[in-house]
Chain A
Amino acid sequence: MMKAAQDHKGKTIGMWLFLYSEIILFGGLFVLYAAYFNRYSSDFISGGHELNRIIGSINTLILLTSSFTVAASLTAVRRNSNRTAGLLLGFSMVCGLVFLVNKYFEWSHKFHAGIYPNSEQLVNGPPGVNIFFGMYYMITGLHGLHVIIGSLLLGFSLQKLVKRKITAESHAFLENSALYWHLVDLIWIFVFPLFYLVL
């Protein structure tokens, strides 16, 4: 049974260490948000009213559901039901894609309304609103990038699953991709109320 030396725990710890750096990265941006919110509360509130709550809520439900299916796919792999695991992973990737499509429509709608970084409307408007949308594009943009990377990782996991490189005994790659995907979900859990539901 000694095929190759595997250090599952080491891989898990390594992934968590990386996730801590991600938490601090987004944490720094949230600190900036909090400091500016403290200074330009009313501008942040009027900025928040411009965002579409319905798309924001739908995207929240999509990410939560995909997080569940990714966690369930790990359970499926460990119970040797690879077909179920594959379907769940595929579904999660579709969720990531739908999230990005929604984001695309949301952003392009804002662009048409003249709200984009360095637009005349924002530059000549109240400074707080300009900062609010600056933070909005920075944080949701960086988060969107994470959704793209996360979906790719889920895709690689699916490929490895099909090629039988992820099995009930050896599934560290899937587990770490799942951790990354859950982190994307975790960040959105804070982005949603702070941007879409401010007062």
Chain B
Amino acid sequence: MNNNEPTHIQSYSRLFMVLLGLFLLTGLTIGVSYIHMGKLNVWIALIIASTKATLVLLYFMHLKYEDQLIRFSFISTVLFLVIMISFIFFDISFR
């Protein structure tokens, strides 16, 4: 087993495209915040933020090129957060 196998090297242009995407999404989230839609604004902001986070994770943090162990453990962490948030909201929404 080789633990030092070189992983994928990302090109500058790919990284730059990701940065452009992140800038565009930032502009989008600022723009949308001026349109008042009540609680829907919060959801849209969270969806855009999650999309940006996914871009950072996949390309900047090269999660896309990591092996199964790191991918699954990361997804488990996010699942744990989802469980924590949803159980707390089951509680506070029905008081």
Q: Check A20–B84 contact: CB distance below 8 A.
A: no
Q: Does A193 interact with chain B (Cβ within 8 Å)?
A: yes
| Count of B interface residues, CB-CB < 8 Å | 48
Interface size class of A (residues with CB under 8 A): 35 or more
Given the known interface contacts A197-B29, A198-B42, the answer about A9 and B19 at a Cβ–Cβ threshold of 8 Å is: no
Within 8 A of B (CB), among A64-78: 64-65, 67-68, 70-72, 74-75, 78
**Chain B contacts of A16 at CB under 8 A?**
70, 73-74
Within 8 A of B (CB), among A31-87: 31, 34-35, 37-39, 53, 57, 60-61, 64-65, 67-68, 70-72, 74-75, 78-79
Main secondary structure of the interface of B (DSSP, over half): helix
Q: Check A190–B53 contact: CB distance below 8 A.
A: yes
Q: Give the Cβ gap from B81 to chain A, nearest Cβ, in Å.
A: 5
**Chain B contacts of A78 at CB under 8 A?**
6, 9
**Chain B contacts of A65 at CB under 8 A?**
19
When chains A and B are docked, how far (Å) is the Cα of A120 from the Cα of B84? 34
Q: Check B3–A7 contact: CB distance below 8 A.
A: yes
Q: Does A199 interact with chain B (Cβ within 8 Å)?
A: yes
Residue of B nearest to A32 (CB): B88
Given the known interface contacts A10-B3, A61-B26, A199-B41, the answer about A67 and B81 at a Cβ–Cβ threshold of 8 Å is: no
When chains A and B are docked, how far (Å) is the Cα of A34 from the Cα of B92? 10
Residue of B nearest to A39 (CB): B92
Given the known interface contacts A20-B74, A75-B15, A197-B29, the answer about A182 and B3 at a Cβ–Cβ threshold of 8 Å is: no
**Chain B contacts of A159 at CB under 8 A?**
none
Given the known interface contacts A20-B74, A64-B22, A68-B60, the answer about A79 and B85 at a Cβ–Cβ threshold of 8 Å is: no
Q: Does A138 interact with chain B (Cβ within 8 Å)?
A: no
Q: Check A67–B3 contact: CB distance below 8 A.
A: no
Q: Check A64–B77 contact: CB distance below 8 A.
A: no
Contact flags (1/0) for B76-95 with A, using CB distance below 8 Å?
A: 01101100110011001100
Which residue of A13, A24, A192, A194 contacts B77 across the interface (Cβ within 8 Å)? Answer: A24
**Chain A contacts of B10 at CB under 8 A?**
71, 74-75
Which residue of B6, B41, B56 contacts A185 across the interface (Cβ within 8 Å)? Answer: B56
Q: Check A189–B36 contact: CB distance below 8 A.
A: no
A residues with a Cβ closer than 8 A to B are 6-10, 12-13, 16-17, 20, 23-24, 27-28, 31, 34-35, 37-39, 53, 57, 60-61, 64-65, 67-68, 70-72, 74-75, 78-79, 178-179, 182-183, 185-186, 189-190, 192-194, 197-199
